[in-house]
Structure 1
Amino acid sequence: MQSVRFYCTALSLMLGSFSLNAQKAHTLTQKIENIISGKKADVGVSVIGVQKNDKVQINGEKFYPMLSTFKFPIALTTLHQVEKGKLRLDQKMLIKKEQLLEDTWSPFREKYPEGNIIITLEDALQWMMCYSDNNLTDIILRLIGGTEPVQKLIGSDFIIKNDEEGMHKDWDSQFINTITPNKAANLLEKFYQGKILNKAHTQWLYNAMLNNQTGLKRLKGKLPANVKVAHRSGTSFTNKAGMTGAVNSYGIIELPHNRKIVVAVFVHNTYESFDNAEAIIADISKAAYDHYNTK
């Protein structure tokens, strides 16, 4: 009889915990729905909280174009190949002038317009992850064997077929590389838990994402200045009708007491101003931070 009572008590506590988590998730879902309500955009969101199975999603299983957020999976694949002995972080790379395309975002080309400079693979990764350099991204992608190794490592709910040069060919080419918000969030969680790379490379990439200088008005936009966010952003063109195809950001937000949450937001086909599109991400990030920071 005593064992039956113990079982019933344990079951009751477990169900109570599930119910409380569900209520908390519902509250955050309502906050996010209020943020995106009435916005001229298709918005996908996935949030992973601090407790086990603590997740919130809106259009979480829908595919959204990645744009430059695909640089995170490329970095994962590159470091994975380093661990397999196929590449070395200190290996030298000659960056030729003809590799530095002009009609693309490239802080590296702005600093070294004549090219013909030798850097290390580690340097190239930093240009990609900290400054979102498109030219260095494509050079790295060619080095690791193209998009296939990235697809193989990351798996399903993710499609990568185009490099940066390919994405600049026409309007539709921007949207070939896609991912679901849930996949993006789960990938980030798996990454920081050390389930993809070894400890040293996990920390290296995490630090690079902490030092990301792009998309600063998105996940970090409305958070306290001292909050650390390891993030990656992505942005498409805006067409003549005023529609921006994608304004994205996903990342890991650090809370007090060594806790972390993951937030992934994809703003697709929006007629909002660019500032307003970024504010959607910032507001969702702030709502998630406030929600979990009070726990």
Structure 2
Amino acid sequence: MRILVFVYWIVAVSLPAHSQKVQNLKRDICQIISQNRAHVGISIKGFEKEDTININANDTFPLMSVFKFHIALAVLQRVDDGVLKLTQKVLVEKSQLHSDTWSPMRDQYPHGQVYLSLDEILRYTVSNSDNNGCDILLNLIGGAKGLQKYIRSLGADDFTVSVNEFQMRSWENSYLNYSTPMETTKLLEKFYNGLILKANSTDYLYRLMVETTRGTRYMKSGLPQAAEIAHRPGLSGLDANKIRIAMNDVGIVKLPNGQYFIISIFLKDIMQDDRQAEEFFSEVARLTWEYFTK
């Protein structure tokens, strides 16, 4: 059994009022990190330069289903370039609908051999975290190598993808797709500010992420009910020692004043139950919301 101990030092110094507020938020987040038995990485970026918090943000973490956001970026880039169309039909064969994985698409079309629009497959994949839909889209953009080449072309060097969802059924492979919290936050901000896709595609993907049905007990549960969050969660299976490999949630949170903050939370080697981990996401989101709204 692996025993992980993380120690965080908070040094009290004389700071301007704004900087002191940021340090107070970081102190509060580090306090709840110290109560968790997991390796935690967090990157938070507000609309002002000073509103930035990074904790283990350059450490690498398994992406899990977070990489469905990256896949959607690559697909929609091809839509912007005229290579693909949201209305075009894609044949989904029965052999692509694996039974031992999360797939609302398979549940809806258990026998396959159906033509679905690219829009439908994106909705299954991004909003409903469909693993079969994920691999169908990944094939359209040249597989893992094609995805990695595209994301790195956006300046995201701390990003590696080697396997698809079907291959991640083996827990060892869960570590082969990884990135850092800071790289993820930077990419989300570029996306939200329209620096990657055309305006229509940016709005389209943002809305799919708002409509995400998974991970509702992660960051979303720590925000006010009316708050808007466009996010992409991720969850692994257990390793050989029955330890949860990873649990993640990354996204864009809109504030009442029309501004936003970007937040990426990654956990790996989680030696506590899922409910405790979920409560960690919720509490960090709550603290961050209160910082930006009070």
TM above 0.5:
yes
- Within a 5 Å distance, the mapping from 1:14-163 to structure 2 comes to 19-155=16-152, 156-163=157-164
Encode CA deviations 1:51-75: one digit per residue, 9 max, x unaligned. Answer: 1242101101111000000000000
User: Any unmatched runs of 5+ in structure 2?
Assistant: 1-14
Encode CA deviations 1:191-227: one digit per residue, 9 max, x unaligned. Answer: 1100000100000000000000000111101211100
Q: Find the counterpart in structure 2 of residue 8 from structure 1.
A: none
User: Any unmatched runs of 5+ in structure 1?
Assistant: 1-17
Partners of 2:17 and 2:183 lie apart in 1 by 25
Q: Find the counterpart in structure 2 of residue 185 from structure 1.
A: 185
Partners of 1:188 and 1:219 lie apart in 2 by 16
- Within a 5 Å distance, the mapping from 1:274-289 to structure 2 comes to 274-289=274-289
| Number of equivalent positions | 276
The CA deviation at 1:189 is: 0.7
Partners of 1:119 and 1:38 lie apart in 2 by 46
Larger of the two Rg values belongs to structure: 1
1:234 match: secondary structure: strand
Partners of 1:174 and 1:242 lie apart in 2 by 14
The CA deviation at 1:278 is: 1.1
The CA deviation at 1:240 is: 5.4
Partners of 1:172 and 1:240 lie apart in 2 by 9
Contact kept? 2:45, 2:262, Cα under 8 Å = yes
Partners of 2:198 and 2:22 lie apart in 1 by 32
Q: Find the counterpart in structure 2 of residue 205 from structure 1.
A: 205
TM-score where L is the length of structure 2: 0.91
Contact kept? 2:41, 2:267, Cα under 8 Å = yes
2:65 match: secondary structure: helix
1:220 match: secondary structure: helix
1:268 match: secondary structure: strand
Partners of 2:76 and 2:50 lie apart in 1 by 29
- Within a 5 Å distance, the mapping from 1:224-263 to structure 2 comes to 224-239=224-239, 241-263=241-263
Partners of 1:241 and 1:145 lie apart in 2 by 34
Partners of 1:158 and 1:19 lie apart in 2 by 35
Q: Find the counterpart in structure 2 of residue 167 from structure 1.
A: 168
Q: Which runs of 4+ in 1 moved over 6 A?
A: none
Q: Find the counterpart in structure 1 of residue 6 from structure 2.
A: none
Cα 1:22–1:152 change in 2 (3 A) is: farther
2:220 match: secondary structure: coil
Partners of 1:165 and 1:269 lie apart in 2 by 21
Paired letter, 1:114:
H
Contact kept? 1:147, 1:160, Cα under 8 Å = yes
Partners of 2:248 and 2:176 lie apart in 1 by 15
Contact kept? 1:50, 1:292, Cα under 8 Å = no
Partners of 2:263 and 2:182 lie apart in 1 by 10
TM-score where L is the length of structure 1: 0.91
2:222 match: secondary structure: coil
The CA deviation at 1:258 is: 0.6
The CA deviation at 1:188 is: 0.7
Paired letter, 1:227:
A
The CA deviation at 1:141 is: 0.5
RMSD: 1.3
Contact kept? 1:230, 1:251, Cα under 8 Å = yes
Q: Find the counterpart in structure 2 of residue 216 from structure 1.
A: 216
Encode CA deviations 1:59-113: one digit per residue, 9 max, x unaligned. Answer: 0111100000000000001000111121111111111111101111111111111
Q: Find the counterpart in structure 2 of residue 4 from structure 1.
A: none
Contact kept? 2:172, 2:239, Cα under 8 Å = no
